[in-house]
Amino acid sequence: MKVLVLNCGSSSLKYQLINMDTEEVLAKGIAERIGIAGSFVKHEATGKEKVVIEDTMENHKAAIKIVLDCLVHETHGAINSMTEISAVGHRVVHGGEKFAGSVIINEEVKATLEECSELAPLHNPPNLMGIYACEEILPSVPMVGVFDTAFHQTMPKSSYLYALPYELYDKYKIRRYGFHGTSHKYVAMRAADILGKPLEELKIVTCHLGNGASIAAVDRGKSIDTSMGFTPLEGLAMGTRCGDMDPAITTFLMEKEGLTSGELNNLMNKKSGVLGISGVSSDFRDIETAADEGNERAVMALEVYNKRVKKYIGAYAAEMGGLDAVVFTAGLGENSKETRKSVCEGLEFLGIKIDDNKNNVRGKETIVTTDDSNTKVLLIPTNEELMIARETKALI
Ligand code: ADP
């Protein structure tokens, strides 16, 4: 069974074709600049040369057509015919309170997703465009929606309610939803496998540290708390997002700087985080280099970032009443030994002892703590596409 996984953004579309009998990736790629001049698809079938196809892509439908052409292409394709695609798995960012798991996409699901668009105006509309486009191009192929929010629907009310007037929750569904759920679920499951223990017996904190970053408390397989909230702005300091701050700063800044709500939103989402503090970059590689060269603001950005990760690990260990494992994943979590080391420094009281030799690794499943460390720290590369394909296969 072959599953096509699609992750549609506003102007991009990432895809993977996975053979679910072996879980092998047959082809993957990305269409960029959809709806903008200069659009192209970077495509790579496993074992074949990478190709770049420059072509006009006015919308997601045009992009998906080109991707499908690539997949069945004589020289750089991966399958002989589109009929080999048994199902399409779509990454959908926001499932609101309606979806606590993946679903087969039907009319009712689409209508509910339209409603959820209000909660994720930047993300859900392009996800839906991908769904509508596939429906037209591959009308007889079943589709599944896999939600970033679904894994966190197990959070108790005490974790997801904000201390605002309760009526606002009823009226607007203002609550914490959490994101990156597919990744948190995947790495928690992998951690249990690697540790050789049932997930149902483990208390795990999963740290997804990429451009966007979030942490989850996975208590015996269930997410009971996570750092992102109503939107992906809450929680950790990120590449360009501020994460947690005193909410009174928003009205203060609007008054002092004469900012509109849109401008403030832009400041908190695009100009803050480690970029805002360091003034160097949102990319941790640049910031680490600047810090090594003695740039004090770069040093400070890393310290603020790491301290907040540490704080959440401590908070979630307290919430779960114990801690068996901490997992680091995504761009920074998988690549930066400095981040892992510095976040875990001082956590010996939680049973964590980092082994510097084992921690000197990138992008490979590894236990980076000493053998006698009571709490294990693991590096696990995330694989959201595989998780989406697995959920799709299970439902089909
Ligand atoms: P996203 O999917 O959210 O865009 P990724 O998980 O790909 O993000 O992570 C991207 C981030 O990972 C980059 O912005 C960079 O800061 C960080 N990163 C990637 N490689 C390294 C590295 N070798 N050292 C430090 N940070 C890295």
pTM: 0.95
- pLDDT band at residue 389 under the 50/70/90 scheme: very high
Q: 278 CB less than 6 Å from ligand 1? A: no
Evaluate whether residue 38 is within a structural domain. yes
Which atom of ligand 1 is found nearest the CA of 213? 3
Nearest residue to 96 (alpha-carbon basis) of 176, 214, 215: 176
Evaluate whether residue 159 is within a structural domain. no
Nearest residue to 105 (alpha-carbon basis) of 394, 395, 384: 395
Q: 284 CB less than 6 Å from ligand 1? A: yes
Domain range for 275: 198-379
Token pair recorded at residue 349: 């009281």
Same domain, 115 and 206: no
Evaluate whether residue 175 is within a structural domain. no
Same domain, 137 and 266: no
Separation CA 35–CA 9 (nearest Å):
12
- Count CB atoms within 10 A of the CB of residue 3: 26
How far, rounded to the nearest angstrom, does the alpha carbon of residue 54 sit from its chain's CA centroid? 28
Which residue puts its alpha carbon closest to atom 27 of ligand 1? 332
Number of domains in the chain: 2
Q: Which residues are annotated as a binding site?
A: 7, 14, 91, 208-212, 283-285, 331-335, 384
Same domain, 266 and 352: yes
CATH of the domain at 84: 3.30.420.40
Separation CA 371–CA 389 (nearest Å):
34
Model confidence pLDDT, tens digit, residues 112-148: 999 888 888 888 999 999 999 999 999 999 999 999 9
Evaluate whether residue 168 is within a structural domain. no
More confident: 233 or 10: 233
- Count CB atoms within 10 A of the CB of residue 298: 24
Same domain, 213 and 354: yes
Same domain, 248 and 141: no
Reading across the β-sheet that carries 325-329, which strands appear in turn?
222-226, 213-219, 203-209, 325-329, 376-379, 366-367
Q: Looking at 132, 147, 162, which one is the last position of a domain?
A: 147
Model confidence pLDDT, tens digit, residues 49-90: 999 999 999 999 999 999 999 999 999 999 999 999 999 999
Q: How far is CA 248 from CA 123, 162, 256, in A?
A: 27, 15, 12
Judge whether 285 and 301 are in contact, CB under 8 Å.
Answer: no
Evaluate whether residue 242 is within a structural domain. yes
Separation CA 267–CA 254 (nearest Å):
11
